[in-house]
Structure 1
C-alpha cells in the first residue's frame, strides 16, 4: 500500500521537477541564441530559411525585444 503511494508521489514530483528544469534550460538556450548570430543562422537553415544580413538583424532585434519568462 505504502509503496504505491510513494511511487505515485515520486512520479509526480519527478515530472514537475523535470518540467521546470526543461523550461529553464530552454530559456537559457534562447537567451544565448540572442547574442550569437551564428546560432540564429543555423536555426534558420534547419527550418529551411536562408537569411540575408538585413533579415538577420531584424530577427536579432525581434529576439532582443522578446521576454523569455513563463
Structure 2
C-alpha cells in the first residue's frame, strides 16, 4: 500500500504553527532557537504546539 495515499496533508509545519511558537518564544536572537529547531520540535511532538513550546522553553533555560 502506498503510505502517501493515506496522507491528509498534516505532515507539514504550517506558517500559523510556526508564528504561534515564535510569538511565545521570540525571534532566533531572543530564543536562541532557529526555525529548523522549531520545525524539528513540532515534528518530534507530532505537531503539538504546546509540547514543542515546553521543550523550547526548557532549551532556552539551558542556554541562559
TM-score bracket for the superposition, by shorter chain length: 0.3 to 0.5
Scaled by the length of structure 1, the TM-score of the pair is: 0.31
Bigger CA radius of gyration: 1
Q: Could you tell me the TM-score, scaled by structure 2's length?
A: 0.33
